[in-house]
Structure 1
Amino acid sequence: MNAGAIWAIYRYEMGRFFRTLAQSFISPVISTSLYFVVFGAAIGSRIDEVGGVSYGAFIVPGLIMLTVMTQAITNASFGIYFPKFIGTIYEVLSAPVSFLEVVVGYVGAAATKALFIGVVIMVTASFFVDLRIAHPLPMALFLVLTCVSFALMGFIIGIWAKNFEQLQLVPLLIVTPLVFLGGSFYSISMLPQAWQTIALFNPVVYLVSGFRWSFYGMADVPVAVSLVVIAGFLALCLAAVWWIFRTGWRIRA
């Protein structure tokens, strides 16, 4: 594996992140803080606790997941789409660099950005609520797997998209609604039985549930199932990326 090529792509993408710090970092942190203040103040004043955890602390894992997923997708999709848009992707494809090295460079940078923002939001939330992490290692595992999986998904979207508008379709119209309906701000056990059954078809439920369990030891679904779901999603994205580079779909055409 060409470590130099991976590092060159990774360093360039991280450099773009710091050059546009206001858009890439400050904006999502402020947006998430506003979510936290509004939901924590407006709804938290009416709901004291959920499963023995204060409502303000209960929504923190969901807010982190919401931000991490959307940021990983956005950074990865733009990172690969922009070279396509200006034509520099052909320089990468003609270089002695394998598709695996290209993916590791772009996806690794996007996952790092999302992970960094997620950690900052976690630290920021600790100033508002009494945040505790019952299982630090599983928490880190869920966070890293989510960052990498959704960065891969964003990479696929960036290759699929034909214009800048399409880059926002999946995050805005699919991922964000699934996160809001995935138990980010409530426990699905609070729903009527019929809606609980319907909610189990939402894959985000398993991610949020497993991540929240790592904080407070409470989960809507078994933790093992959550791990299987995120691992399966990661494998599916890897298979899709492999097929894209094998066939040249939306890259060489």
Structure 2
Amino acid sequence: MNWTAIAAIYRFEMARFFRTLMQSFLSPVLSTSLYFVVFGAAIGSRIDQVEGVAYGAFIVPGLIMLSVMTQAISNASFGIYFPKFIGTIYELLSAPVNFLEIVLGYVGAAATKALFIGVVILVTASLFVDLTIAHPFAMMLFLVLTCVSFALLGFIIGVWAKNFEQLQLVPLLIVTPLVFLGGSFYSISMLPTIWQKITLFNPVVYLISGFRWSFFGTSDVPVGFSLLAIGGFTLLCLGAIWWIFKTGWRIRA
């Protein structure tokens, strides 16, 4: 394993993040505050509790998941797309590094950035509501796995995209709606029976449910299913990336 190459890619990607650290810090703080004003105050004044949890606290795991997923995808997709755009991807492909080392560098940096955003949102949310984390280890496990798996998805999107508009296509039109419809701001038990069954086909439900369980000890689906879902998604993304480098799809063309 060429750790020097991994570290070089990782440091390069993190340097871009630190150049806009204030923007990266302020954006989640402001967006989280707005969510609490809109959802916590407006809707929370009409919904006292959900499954025994104050509504303001109940939406925190959903807020974190929404930001972490979109940030992981955006950072990873831009990180690999930009070398394709300017042509430096060929220098990387001709260097003595394999696909796993390239992925570890780019995905590791994107996951680190998303993890930072998740922690910032968690700290910001604690200023608005009283938060207790019932299972801290499980919370970090779900958070890290989500950052890594969606960074892998972002890497695939960056390879697939042919222009900057396509980089935003999947996060805006697919991931964000799935998060909103995946129980981020409500419990699926509040839905009619038929919609509860339909919602279970949304993979994001399992991620948010497991992450919420780590906070409050309650979940819409069994925690084991949540771990299986995120583990299976991670393996699927790794398999797709292996195939991309094996065939050179949209990398060597």
TM-score range normalised by the length of the shorter chain? over 0.9
Q: Structure 1 regions of 5+ residues with no counterpart? A: none
Q: Secondary structure at the match of 1:183?
A: coil
Q: Give the Cα separation in 2 of the matches to 1:29 and 1:202.
A: 28
Q: Give the Cα separation in 2 of the matches to 1:150 and 1:32.
A: 20
Residue matched to 1:189? 189
In the alignment of these two chains, the number of paired residues is 253
* 1:198 aligned onto 2:198: yes
Counterparts in 2 of 1:103-252, with a 5 A limit? 103-252=103-252
**More off after superposition, 140-149 vs 15-24:** 15-24
CA contact (8 A) 1:213 1:219 kept: yes
CA contact (8 A) 1:36 1:60 kept: no
**More off after superposition, 27-36 vs 103-112:** 27-36
* 1:58 aligned onto 2:52: no
**More off after superposition, 20-29 vs 206-215:** 20-29
Residue matched to 1:95? 95
Q: Give the Cα separation in 2 of the matches to 1:155 and 1:29.
A: 26
Q: Give the Cα separation in 1 of the matches to 2:33 and 2:167.
A: 25
CA contact (8 A) 2:25 2:120 kept: no
CA contact (8 A) 2:28 2:120 kept: no
Shift of 1:37: 2.1
Superposed CA deviations along residues 55-84 of structure 1, whole A, max 9, x for unmatched, are 000000000000000000000000000010
CA contact (8 A) 1:29 1:117 kept: no
Shift of 1:21: 2.5
Shift of 1:98: 0.9
Shift of 1:23: 4.2
Shift of 1:7: 0.4
Q: Secondary structure at the match of 2:70?
A: helix
**More off after superposition, 18-27 vs 79-88:** 18-27
Letter in 2 for 1:228: L
* TM-score, length of structure 2 as denominator length: 0.98
- The verdict on how the C-alpha distance between 1:24 and 1:88 changes in structure 2, with shifts beyond 3 A counting, is farther
Shift of 1:22: 4.3
Superposed CA deviations along residues 24-59 of structure 1, whole A, max 9, x for unmatched, are 342233223211221101100000001111000000
- The alignment-based identity, stated in percent, is 83
Residue matched to 2:37? 37
Shift of 1:185: 0.1
CA contact (8 A) 1:32 1:67 kept: no
Letter in 2 for 1:235: L
CA contact (8 A) 2:32 2:125 kept: no
Q: Secondary structure at the match of 1:118?
A: helix
Q: Give the Cα separation in 2 of the matches to 1:148 and 1:232.
A: 13
Letter in 1 for 2:213: W
CA contact (8 A) 1:210 1:219 kept: yes
Superposed CA RMSD in Å reads 0.8
Q: Give the Cα separation in 1 of the matches to 2:129 and 2:20.
A: 30
* TM-score, length of structure 1 as denominator length: 0.98
Residue matched to 2:68? 68
CA contact (8 A) 2:139 2:211 kept: yes
Letter in 1 for 2:109: A
